[in-house]
Structure 1
Amino acid sequence: MLLKKLNISQWLLYIGAAFWLVPLLWMTVTAFRPRQIALSPSFSLEFTLDNFARVWSAAPFAQYYLNTILIVVGVFLVQMITASMAAFAFARVEFRAKNIVFLLFLIQIMVPADVLIFPNYSVLKELSLLDTKLGVMLPYFASAFGIFLLRQMFKTIPPELDEAAVMEGYSKWQILWKIYFPLSRPTYVAFGLVSVSYHWNNFLWPLIVTNSVENRPLTVGLAIFAQSFEIGAQWTEVSAATLLVIAPLMIGFLLFQRQFMNSFIHSGMK
């Protein structure tokens, strides 16, 4: 009976995965098909790369890629520093009302980022940071999720290592980056994957903040491209542009799938 239940569960997972893959497969096939037969119900082995050439020349996707990479990498590097210091303080430094302050950080996880769009926009306007890459990144320089994840990992590290490091003359800063950081690499990988995928796909905030090609990320550029008058309902170009946007994340996941799963297992995430 248990074997039958397991088989049924596996089949349900396979069916769910198949339904999830249908739009992705349709988009991929459409991106490589000639325009005149793209929506034809008949199957053919005729494929082309002209759609990608037209997309690349019709919109500044190279600039969009550069903007997105700078934003994603910049946010993650700052998050890694701020989350590490805050997590170390909550895990190893004793101060008054520490649990209450940590609870306030956890509450931020339950607050949707979209709720803060108006106050964040007002702050950026006062700072003259609208339509800048820094303006896109600034609200995400601190991560409550990252603090929680790293704090839980830091608490599993034996405190005797801290005592031994103090005996060797290490400062708290040196203890954090020479002991805690190397021992927590799987957790940093897990957090990095979440941060990079989130900010690569982030759309609403960059759409509101940016107005120029020099600061616009891929998601906003794709939306403008898909709605442009020149493209209209030409599904081959839209599919090719979408594939260009999601391809780096898909390739990264396929190449590092094992590390992706192991990082969450080591970090205590199921």
Structure 2
Amino acid sequence: MTATALPQPIQSREHGFWHAVEVIGCYLLGALWILPLLYAVWMAFHPAEYEVRFDLTAPLTLANFVQAWNAAPFARYFLNTFVLITVILVSQFVICTLAAYAFARYDFRGKTLVFMLVLIQLMIMPEVLMVENYRTMVKLGLVDTVWAMGLPYMASAFGIFLLRQAFLTVPKELDDAARVEGAGPLGILLKVYVPLSRPIYVAYGLVSVSYHWNNLLWPLVITNSVSTRPLTVGLQVFASPDQGVQWSIISAAALMTSAPLLIGFLLFQRQFVQSFMRAGIK
């Protein structure tokens, strides 16, 4: 006689119940995120008198976007933001790659101590260093420049840690094979480690771009003129108490500033999710 497994309906019901709770919780969290966005879209595409009155027959208009664009030099704000993000991202890729490669493959005196200092940096909020960073920018004569906004972020402890963990997974036999082919240390890094860690670079790049696109406090402190302000600081002009708060125009301006990130995510959401899954970022 052969033993047969008896069904366990109680466990199946319990599993189904908790699965339903998880699904409902996800829908509720999704609603909490999407409802404010939908409300902002409603206000941006409708006249001001329909801000609190939901009428499906309300006329659509682009006047709020026109007024928002004319109320501030958005072209300059977009240019400053793109330049800032490009400078920061390129610098982070170069510096973090070199530092992570050194920590992963080289042995030198004080290596453990230096890496511990990098990890400690992860526990320090950027706001804690804001006063000292401002004093440094004053001494360097960089206040009210794009370089002042980007210089404190050109090296990232998180980026160094993430790339180091990725480089440690690369087999050392590939180093030997590359040396046989005549590659030097820099050639091994560029031809072996960087290509194999491409998903990590994509994941980290997305996190960095999103953070610095939305960063407000440090650019607000270090910039004084319109010619150097990024988008986040430029939005402050719509909250002026002299002009009053016009929510329809503010919503239109907020949608314009967030549109590049939203469009980028919609176009590359599959690569976005896959890069994080391969990188192991929770």
Normalised by the shorter chain, which TM-score bucket? Answer: over 0.9
In the alignment, what sits opposite 2:154?
Answer: 141
CA RMSD of aligned residues (A): 1.1
Is 1:253 matched with 2:265?
yes
Q: Distance in 2 between matches of 1:245 and 1:258?
A: 23
Partner of residue 76 from structure 2, selected from 51, 56, 63: 63
Give the structure with higher Rg (CA).
Answer: 2
Unaligned runs of 5+ in 2: 1-13
Q: Distance in 2 between matches of 1:234 and 1:46?
A: 18
In the alignment, what sits opposite 1:31?
Answer: 44
- 1:228 deviation in Å? 5.8
Q: Is the 8 A contact 2:50 2:58 kept in 1?
A: no
Q: Distance in 1 between matches of 2:33 and 2:70?
A: 31
In the alignment, what sits opposite 1:234?
Answer: 246
- 1:15 deviation in Å? 0.9
Q: Distance in 2 between matches of 1:81 and 1:14?
A: 40
Q: Distance in 1 between matches of 2:55 and 2:237?
A: 31
Partner of residue 173 from structure 1, selected from 176, 183, 186: 186
In the alignment, what sits opposite 2:165?
Answer: 152
- 1:225 deviation in Å? 2.6
Is 1:115 matched with 2:125?
no
- 1:106 deviation in Å? 0.7
Q: Distance in 2 between matches of 1:212 and 1:44?
A: 43
Runs of 4+ aligned structure 1 residues displaced above 4 Å come to: none
Is 1:22 matched with 2:35?
yes
* Deviations 1:51-85 (CA, angstroms, capped at 9, x unpaired): 00111111101100000000011100000000000
Partner of residue 96 from structure 1, selected from 102, 109, 120: 109
Q: Distance in 2 between matches of 1:43 and 1:233?
A: 25
* Deviations 1:120-179 (CA, angstroms, capped at 9, x unpaired): 000000000000000100000100000001000000000011111122221111111111
Partner of residue 212 from structure 2, selected from 194, 199, 202: 199
Q: Distance in 2 between matches of 1:8 and 1:39?
A: 33
- TM-score scaled by length of structure 1: 0.97
SS of the residue aligned with 2:129? Answer: helix
- TM-score scaled by length of structure 2: 0.93
Partner of residue 176 from structure 2, selected from 159, 163, 173: 163
Is 1:269 matched with 2:281?
yes
In the alignment, what sits opposite 1:221?
Answer: 234
In the alignment, what sits opposite 2:139?
Answer: 126
